[in-house]
Structure 1
């Protein structure tokens, strides 16, 4: 449906739930420049960005998009930007809505959800921190050494490769944890006076869950496979 000749304004007028993608790349949703023009100006891959737009417009599109064709730095740039967006905006917004529910409703189930969500948030942020500080630098160094034979990157790979590979091997996405929160909260029958906050909270959880599924598809099924392929080609032995 969309193409790189569309502007952010046209895209978000069609589907407001795509606004957050533009926020991640610091692109104004009111801009009337085309995606192609914005990509040139910001040194972005316009095809990759458009594929993301298609996924966020309809999650089912992810099955037909060839994310494997994109290079590792392009994938990591998106994943890093998403981590910052989740921590600085998405998670605080969900917490804020949950806090408002608690202020207006004393049902013990809401406090169970809050405790579960707080634990989930801590685990997720710790997970992001390891990826941002170990996994992504390792992936970029592996890419640079493979294509440009950089001695500096080889040193980083040899120093950090064992830890990175161990984390990747033990890596399990926590995307399904949000489903547990949803299952708990849906058992709660919100009074009419709190219905709006309840509905907003459920919607925020659903959108975040979908967001994490796209994130996991790119990270687990695309980036990880590309990294393993390069690692096997180089046949590096980690001490």
Structure 2
């Protein structure tokens, strides 16, 4: 079976698949031969190639259940929708932080439950889009980090409860270069400087995240469930190595 046909005949739903990482994931599934449905609250300015768009507010459980009930087939669900503004904990109230958790943790749970019947019938796969923010302190995005930590744990429990019919895995992402990178890292020089802190020397491209998601959803990963795949370019160089006063010339 050729790589371009590895998901031929399968239906993949990508939440938040209209831009950035989500668009990269959606395009990768389309290249792999899947029929791809992307959903978000607003239509994309430039739809991902060969993908269908359907509007959906993932914070509305009834709308989410209706969305999946209207589909005849779902083989793959990629819970990508999420994100957060930069906000220190003391700068906002608990209710606003809770909305970040709702989008990044509760919404993927709602979508997974709504899609479960379809996925079980297809012996399908769920791919959660996690973050290194869930594995380390995340000042300025603490609620987001807490939600992503919970998402990874949810995926592990879901993988056990729903086996063997549905596989559930997590992509743990590092920094990805998207159309919003300048808001986080500044101009091209800032983006390059941030990329230089990664062992591989650059930020990931959305296409690369998409290829990893396709792998986890494909038959090549048929014995992988409850796993977390780190896609972070090697992570972050420990700060203490640069602060140390020994071996500077090594």
Higher relative contact order (CA 8 A, sep 6+): 1
Same fold (TM over 0.5): no
Higher fraction of helix: 1
